Amino acid sequence: MVLQSAKEEYAVVLDFLPNGHIFDTRPAHLKSAIAQAIGKTHFILLELIPKKGCFLQPMQEVYIGEGKREEIHHIFGKIEYNKLTQTAQAELEFVIAEMVKKNESRFIEFFNKSGPISMRMHSLELLPGIGKKHMWELLEVRKEGGDFKGFEDIRARVKLMPDPEKMIVKRIIEELKGMDKYKLFVGS
């Protein structure tokens, strides 16, 4: 079975460079505007080339799928976290937090369905702030009381639990930075 890389339909603009990258040494007439963005589904970091005369704003959602695109001419390619501009890096946490909030059910499903990775590690332990103690408490509460309904339900049922929303956001950023070999939320 061949794993196909994740495709994004929509992206959120993190930064817009109307004159291209600063370090691009080509003459100005050869440079094109570029937008740094993050995919809405798989959190893939991308560089996008907008259509001529199209100015994009940070936090703007753009269609990048196979159909007719209004603002984007083409996808330049994937980029690594450390290639993001300072502005894009600053916007990233806010954009991810908003996406996590809007797709709460997807992340609650992770808390409800997650299982062990190996004999010694559970996928819940990959979330920042969850050690063995919180992991066992989460599993016990889930077993006794059934599936979690939302982030608020997790906070109410699991005592002294760090904010689950913030844990998910931190984990996504860690995955984007390449800090761990395991990928829970970020596509490739």
Whose tokens are 């956001």? That residue is 169
Residues in the chain: 188
Residue 74, both tokens: 């083409």
108-156 per-position pLDDT tens digit? 999 999 999 999 999 999 999 999 999 999 999 999 999 999 999 999 9
- List, by residue range, all CATH 1.10.150.280 domains of the chain: 103-177
State the pTM of this model.
0.90
Superfamily of domain 103-177: AF1531-like domain (1.10.150.280)
CATH architecture of 10-81: Beta Barrel (2.40)
14-72 per-position pLDDT tens digit? 999 998 887 777 777 777 899 999 999 999 999 999 999 899 999 999 999 999 999 99
CA–CA gap between residue 132 and residue 73 (Å, rounded): 48
- List, by residue range, all CATH 2.40.50.140 domains of the chain: 10-81
Q: Is the dihedral of CA 121, 127, 129, 133 positive or negative?
A: negative
Neighbours of 45 (CB within 10 A): 21
